[in-house]
């Protein structure tokens, strides 16, 4: 085996270690569960299941601007733990979401209208049956400031 092949194989193995949650996320799950990480790295008691879409390696969420997940990012608690899968509502899951594939991510607010439009289009495709109701709520909320878009980049 040539050195180049070995390096390519090694690089593929590293990438393969990151890809399984992406594949599951895109193909199987309509939900992610997330919790901001406290400054000491511990999980916050604020946890939730939310709709999301993925673009490349980043996950996007649209939420009320007053929601704790938006507030956490605004206050600098941008490190977040995300579980990928769907076990229903987190409070009634008996902690089942804690056994799902997971990752740490860095959250940030997205203010770019072009990104909003692109991401909302992905939401409309992923959640087509609900989008007639939720699409206008997301779009209008982003426009009037009652909702924000959060981007979670894996770290």
Q: Which domain holds residue 50?
A: 3-154
118 — pLDDT class (breaks 50, 70, 90): very high
Instruction: Indicate the number of domains in the chain.
Output: 1
Phi (first) and psi of residue 91, to 5 degrees: -65, -30
Please, is 15 exposed, middle or buried when counting C-beta atoms within 10 Å of its C-beta (0-12, 13-18, 19+)? exposed
> To which H or E segment does residue 107 belong?
strand 102-110
Tokens linked to 40: 């000491």
| CA 141/CA 22 separation, integer angstroms | 28
Which range is least confidently modeled, 36-45, 54-63, 94-103? 94-103
Residue 90 banded pLDDT, cuts 50, 70, 90: low
Confidence of residue 43 (pLDDT cuts 50, 70, 90): confident
Question: How far is Cα 60 from Cα 1, in angstroms, rounded to an integer?
Answer: 41
- Distance CA(92)–CA(141), nearest Å, equals 28
Any idea what the CATH number is for the domain that residue 106 is in?
A: 2.30.110.10
């Amino acid at each position: 085996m040539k050195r180049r092949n070995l390096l390519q194989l090694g690089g593929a193995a590293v990438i393969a270690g990151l890809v399984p949650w992406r594949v599951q996320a895109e193909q199987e799950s309509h939900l992610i569960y997330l919790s901001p990480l406290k400054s000491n790295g511990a999980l916050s008691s604020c946890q939730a299941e939310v709709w999301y879409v993925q673009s490349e390696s980043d996950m996007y969420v649209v939420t009320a601007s007053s929601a704790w997940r938006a507030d956490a990012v605004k206050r600098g608690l941008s490190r977040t733990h995300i579980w990928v899968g769907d076990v229903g509502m987190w409070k009634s899951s008996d902690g089942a979401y804690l056994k799902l594939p997971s990752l740490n991510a860095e959250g940030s607010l997205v203010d770019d209208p072009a990104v909003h439009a692109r991401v909302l289009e992905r939401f409309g495709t992923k959640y087509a049956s609900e989008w007639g109701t939720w699409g206008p709520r997301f779009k209008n909320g982003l426009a009037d400031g009652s909702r924000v878009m959060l981007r979670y980049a894996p770290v």
